[in-house]
Amino acid sequence: MKNISFRYLTLATLAGAVFTFGSNAVHAQTQSYPNKPIQLVIPFAPGDTDRMVRPFSDKMGEFLGQTVVMNFKPGAGGAVGAGQVANSKPDGYTIVGTSPGSIVVVPLANKDVTYSTESFEPIAALSEGGFMLVVPSSSTIKDMKDLVAVSKQSPGKLTFSTSGSKGITHMLAEILAQDIKVKWTHIPYQGSGPAITALLGGHVDMASTAIGPAQAHIAAGTLRPLAVFGDTRLNAFPNVPTLKELGYNIGSPVYYGILAPKGTPKEIINAIYDAAKKSVDKYNAQISENLSTLGAQIGLLGPKEYSEYLTKQKELFAQGVKLVE
């Protein structure tokens, strides 16, 4: 009996030692973080996403004591890069910078993707962009009332371009059409640029688009914005109403942020967020100026708020997936 008791005591002591060693190792890891450059994976080719994140990441190294290096991993609508980060060691040295597209929409729309929104630890939302409906300035459609009237007069006749089938801009337009109880014909293109070019060329009647690609054409007077999909009006377009304020049941602000693999210690998450916040506090004017060229603005959210935002996005686009299947 004494031998059995001694054996259990020995096992318990060893288990406690292992637990203590593991806890101490994690503590040492978080205490020394970061001690090498941080890889910020952008799951798209250079373009909109990196430009929405870079004004922050370029400054964060000052407060982290290590550089934040962008690493482009495009492919499969963002699934290649996002999937790599989801499967990376949760030590804070490999993170992803993205919109809800690759983190929320892709896993919902593509059953072959092996990660989900829950595969990540949200760190911070950084910038707020937006999506909008635009028509050519020559269009007889002047506002949303006109759009609804024309749509109901000729169901399915109006065409709209997007950056691709089953993407955010496609789903938002279909959710809106369902809310209005109208039917539009979708014409997908390979990217926002071609979608806007098609609209300018008269190949479609309107576009559901990210603001960045449409901004210069709106400023030049060749495109007319009807409404934005966000919850509040954007600083770059103070005269363009949101769909919500016009009475439509849809709001989808677009936050570009950074996330780490699931299981990354809270202390590391907070350290990265703190660097982002200090960057905004010190370089607010410079960051704001850089984002304004994209029709965007600072949209800093902490880990908890960013997580709540992504949860709402998942609920919205789960509805959208059903409409485009």
pLDDT band, residue 19 (cuts 50/70/90): low
Which residue segment(s) compose the domain that 203 sits in?
A: 131-228
Number of domains in the chain: 2
Answer whether residue 153 shows pLDDT above 90. yes
Q: State percent of the chain over pLDDT 70.
A: 91
> Is there a domain that residue 265 lies in?
yes
- Residue 28's pLDDT is 56
Question: Between 261 and 213, whose confidence is greater?
Answer: 261
> Is there a domain that residue 266 lies in?
yes
Domain edge (last residue) among 193, 228, 263: 228
Q: 185-188 and 297-301 as β-strands: parallel, antiparallel, unpaired?
A: unpaired
- Is the Cβ–Cβ distance between 118 and 134 less than 8 Å? no
Q: Give the model confidence (pLDDT) of 76-91 as tens digits.
A: 888 999 999 999 999 9
Q: At what angle do helices 211-220 and 192-200 cross, to 10 degrees?
A: 30
Answer whether residue 170 shows pLDDT above 50. yes
Does residue 106 sit in the same domain as residue 94?
yes
- Residue 159's pLDDT is 98
- Residue 163's pLDDT is 87
Residue 196 identity: I
Q: 297-301 and 120-129 as β-strands: parallel, antiparallel, unpaired?
A: antiparallel
- Residue 238's pLDDT is 94
pTM of the predicted protein model: 0.83
Does residue 178 sit in the same domain as residue 107?
no
Helix, strand, coil shares, percent, the chain, to 5 = 50, 20, 30
Dihedral sign for Cα 274, 272, 40, 316, please: negative
- Residue 17's pLDDT is 55
Answer whether residue 156 shows pLDDT above 50. yes
pLDDT band, residue 2 (cuts 50/70/90): very low
Answer whether residue 20 shows pLDDT above 80. no
> Is there a domain that residue 28 lies in?
no
- Residue 315's pLDDT is 93
Query: Which residues are bridge partners to 112 per DSSP?
Result: none
Of 48, 51, 111, nearest to 76 by C-alpha is: 111
Domain edge (last residue) among 228, 243, 269: 228
Which CATH number do you get for residue 280?
Answer: 3.40.190.150
- Residue 24's pLDDT is 52
Does residue 261 sit in the same domain as residue 121?
yes
Work out the mean pLDDT of the chain and round it to a whole number. 91
Q: Give the model confidence (pLDDT) of 26-52 as tens digits.
A: 555 577 899 999 999 999 888 788 999
- Residue 298's pLDDT is 96
Question: Between 22 and 227, whose confidence is greater?
Answer: 227
pLDDT band, residue 308 (cuts 50/70/90): very high
pLDDT band, residue 289 (cuts 50/70/90): very high
Which CATH number do you get for residue 196?
Answer: 3.40.190.10
> Is there a domain that residue 41 lies in?
yes
Residue 208 vs residues 88, 174, 267, 303: alpha-carbon distances, Å: 34, 10, 40, 29
Does residue 90 sit in the same domain as residue 103?
yes
Q: Give the model confidence (pLDDT) of 218-261 as tens digits.
A: 999 999 999 999 888 988 899 999 999 999 988 888 999 999 99
